[in-house]
Structure 1
């Protein structure tokens, strides 16, 4: 028994002598700029070639076609591209919102500056969808009071820009006066309205402060770009037009 105790004591003594505590005294980092100064090698090229081929195949995949070139500057306070942007986001988002809440979205509004590129006549690919919406913005629905809808219209008039509005809205302007219909009915300042937009704008982006502090905010967990791609895949040809959603009378 004495030998066993002596052996155990020796074991723990040796173990404690071999135990070391390490402490990190310094962390260093180096920034490497990835630009044309970095030269490639055959080994690197052969490694990335399969991934590059697959990526190019995906980005250049044709989703739909357009009957004409679409831009944000072909109308007064509306545009063919802006109309398309608002309408396709509405069409994709409304079923999601209805499933979550049992209600429909009243209309959609986005910002003129959020349209980052036009669409060509002919084939429309994934690349065009990414160029149109390069940001990671998500779709949200803000329930706004009648007062905030009035602020929205005042913002639209004062800015004099073709901010995308969906087909569910009819706004007739004459000087500083206006008449507004939503879902085919006259605007009621005592009601609340559900408005589809992006999380960026709902947070006050582009000074759209009327989206802040809504009566209710519903997150759809759906990227704007994903809605665009899904819509492109769902139609054979894009045929947006200028219409009566915004009318300017002299």
Structure 2
């Protein structure tokens, strides 16, 4: 009898230990408020401090100087900061593009919303470039048909906003239509045009769908922010003006 009882409990133990598939039943979270009651770890602070000091020193490095405030709101259809951004990106990117292709960029265009901060009068520091362009966007060149460039011009007119465009393009809109020139020449329907922009906009960001599916796409492997920093490093004093690159006549 004892043997039968022992065998019974042995079998029961084996059955109860059988591996069954596990299923997640519930996930619980707990809110841990951060307050002064939580003490800091001195060892972690001491480990981080040298890196923190290095980053702060780099961010506060003076790169250039501006005698005026640079903002995106000092003009109706163009701005000092927008003009600067488009022109400096063109200036930094065109030599790269020319070296690789033997061709030149026709003009540059970016978006108003991509300018995230202004630069006040005085020294321009590295942190100003990061505040201006906090995103990791890269420069690209798209080859567009004249039809697509026409769509670009119509977009600018419809938006009625100071999107950054470089000085190589001039757009004058009026009640009868508009006049568009690139390098002081009217749009040539038989030509294609090389336009500098960001990879974000090239993918249709800000509804700039005319940049999508270009004839050819050239990736420059050059971040917008890096081009800004490089330009500031090489330019002692920033000189920029509103020059009427996009206007509307009554």
TM-score range, shorter chain: 0.7 to 0.9
The 2-side partners of 1:174 and 1:249 are apart by 5
The 2-side partners of 1:34 and 1:248 are apart by 56
Alignment of 1:9-20 (within 5 A): none
> Can you list the C-alpha shifts for 1:99-140, whole angstroms capped at 9, x where unaligned?
110000000000000000001100111111000000000000
TM-score, scaled relative to structure 1: 0.85
Aligned match of 1:17: none
C-alpha distance 65-35 of structure 1, shift in aligned 2 (>3 A): farther
2:85 pairs with 1:81: no
TM-score, scaled relative to structure 2: 0.85
Gap regions ≥5 residues in structure 2:
1-21
C-alpha distance 42-215 of structure 1, shift in aligned 2 (>3 A): same
Q: CA deviation at 1:51?
A: 1.1
> Can you list the C-alpha shifts for 1:166-198, whole angstroms capped at 9, x where unaligned?
010111111351111101211112211000000
The 2-side partners of 1:43 and 1:31 are apart by 29
2:144 pairs with 1:144: yes
2:127 pairs with 1:100: no
Aligned match of 1:153: 153
The 2-side partners of 1:104 and 1:224 are apart by 18
Preserved contact between residue 87 and residue 108 of structure 2 (Cα < 8 Å): yes
The 1-side partners of 2:171 and 2:232 are apart by 27
The 2-side partners of 1:214 and 1:56 are apart by 41
Compute the RMSD of aligned alpha carbons.
2.2
Gap regions ≥5 residues in structure 1:
1-24
Preserved contact between residue 78 and residue 244 of structure 2 (Cα < 8 Å): no
Alignment of 1:195-206 (within 5 A): 195-206=195-206
Aligned match of 2:242: 242
C-alpha distance 122-221 of structure 1, shift in aligned 2 (>3 A): same
2:197 pairs with 1:231: no
Aligned match of 1:109: 109
The 1-side partners of 2:32 and 2:119 are apart by 30
The 1-side partners of 2:61 and 2:33 are apart by 27
- Per mean C-alpha deviation after superposition, the further-off stretch among 42-51 and 126-135 is 42-51
C-alpha distance 169-35 of structure 1, shift in aligned 2 (>3 A): farther
The 1-side partners of 2:96 and 2:146 are apart by 24
Preserved contact between residue 141 and residue 219 of structure 2 (Cα < 8 Å): yes
How many correspondences in the alignment? 225
Alignment of 1:154-233 (within 5 A): 154-175=154-175, 177-233=177-233
C-alpha distance 30-123 of structure 1, shift in aligned 2 (>3 A): farther
